[in-house]
Amino acid sequence: MPEGPSVRKFHHLVSPFVGQKVVKTGGSSKKLCPAAFQSLWLQATQVHGKKLFLRFDPDEEMEPLSSPQPVQGVWQEQAMDPELALGPSAQESSVGPSGSGEPVPSGSNGSSGLGGQNPLAGAQRWLEVRFGLFGSVWVNDFSRAKKANKRGDWRDPVPRLVLHFGGGGFLAFYSCRMSWSPPPVVDPTCDILSEQFHRGQALEALSQAQPVCCTLLDQRYFSGLGNIIKNEALYRAGIHPLSLGSLLSPPSLEALVDHVVTISTDWLRDKFQGKERHTQIYQKERCPSGHQVMKEMFGPPGGFQRFTWWCPQCQPKLSSEGPQNLLSS
């Protein structure tokens, strides 16, 4: 799924539509009826880690939250540097002609919301969006097929949800799971892209007696960190992915956290500047020093296993760690 930098960009693509009314809907979602958004007003957006939150209200007289502020005691995302802000005519991958006239699959199925819930009942006004591996948000355009599928045809991806707004633009959401939820409880201290990210909390989590490759993916301490950032940070810090945090020196752990933050912020900056992402170890056959790269799936026992790339020469295993400490599939 997209990592923190990508979801941050999605958030800033959606933000210009805050304060506008939904005038037309479409999409292929069956669990969440697109028609339920008709005539609603997008009042606020929040982002935390890998999740995007959108608030919709039926009352046009409600003032949109145009500036960062607490919402019922929860944290509202800080605005990005204005020099990096994108207007509503931008999209995630490339700039192209408007596709507003293109037919969009209807999502009508007789339901007013997910599982029969009314999105306007009580606090159920927040839409939680979780993106899949190829999830994205497009603005004023639709995603196009870049290659033929396994059947040999060139069918364009079908958006899960399309929202046309009164201002004339539209948003298209791809490869994502959406559900109505209560107001989000957002903690910026564990968000790797937040100015309030708590390094001490992250270091304490990493110092536990478990492989650091597992701790890094724990969203309770490193919200927004995914498999790419994990691999890159471990390589740059010279740490074997299965090293137990309790056996690593404080300077090594501090260097690892430094690389996590640096890689994340640089990646976000590059995305807004339209630069391609360049990795040093992720999905590589050889590291920058020319050594053969190893690849294997690691994860906690009974938990989700993720592909990990590392260089045995640049990231040596600690001599005190025996096979009994290694968690692999």
Contact (CB, 8 A) for 264 and 4: yes
Query: CB within 8 A of 192, min separation 6: which ones?
Result: 4, 49, 222, 223, 224, 225, 229, 260, 261, 264
CB atoms within 10 A of CB 145: 11
Give Cα 68 distance to the centre of its chain: 20
Active-site residue, from 50, 55, 236, 271 = 50
Q: Is 2 one of the catalytic residues?
A: yes
- Separation of alpha carbons 160 and 177, rounded Å: 8
Rounded to the nearest 5°, which phi and psi values hold at 2? -55, 140
The packing angle between helices 250-272 and 227-237, to 10°, is 130
pTM score: 0.73
User: Greater confidence, 143 or 294?
Assistant: 294
* CA-wise closest residue to 120 among 55, 45, 76: 55
Q: Residue 98: which pLDDT band, with cuts at 50, 70 and 90?
A: very low
pLDDT of 256 reads 98
CATH of 188-317, one of 3.30.110.40, 1.10.10.10, 1.10.8.50, 1.10.3720.10: 1.10.8.50
Residues in the chain: 329
- Separation of alpha carbons 114 and 220, rounded Å: 27
DSSP state of 247: G
- Separation of alpha carbons 237 and 257, rounded Å: 9
Q: Which two tokens stand for residue 87?
A: 């207007």
Active-site residue, from 31, 130, 306, 317 = 306
- E-assigned strand segments in 91-241: 126-139, 161-165, 170-181
Q: Is 306 one of the catalytic residues?
A: yes
CB atoms within 10 A of CB 274: 9
The average pLDDT across 178-201 equals: 91
Active-site residue, from 3, 77, 92, 232 = 3
Give Cα 167 distance to the centre of its chain: 27
pLDDT of 127 reads 94
Q: Which two tokens stand for residue 318?
A: 């600690």
Q: Residue 268: which pLDDT band, with cuts at 50, 70 and 90?
A: very high
- Separation of alpha carbons 156 and 175, rounded Å: 13
% the chain with pLDDT above 90: 57
Write the pLDDT tens digit of every residue in 232-246: 999 999 999 999 999
Q: Which two tokens stand for residue 249?
A: 């020196």
Q: Where in the chain is the domain with CATH 3.20.190.10?
A: 4-181
Q: Which two tokens stand for residue 41?
A: 């007003």
Write the pLDDT tens digit of every residue in 120-163: 554 458 999 999 888 899 999 888 877 777 777 777 888 999 99
Which of helix, strand or coil describes residue 229? helix
Virtual CA dihedral for 149, 132, 299, 224, nearest 10 degrees? 140
Q: Where in the chain is the domain with CATH 1.10.8.50?
A: 188-317
Architecture of the domain delimited by 4-181: Alpha-Beta Barrel (3.20)
Contact (CB, 8 A) for 173 and 129: yes
Give Cα 55 distance to the centre of its chain: 18
Query: CB within 8 A of 5, min separation 6: which ones?
Result: 193, 224, 264, 267, 268, 271
Q: Is 50 one of the catalytic residues?
A: yes
pLDDT of 60 reads 57
Active-site residue, from 2, 88, 184, 211 = 2
Q: Residue 88: which pLDDT band, with cuts at 50, 70 and 90?
A: very low
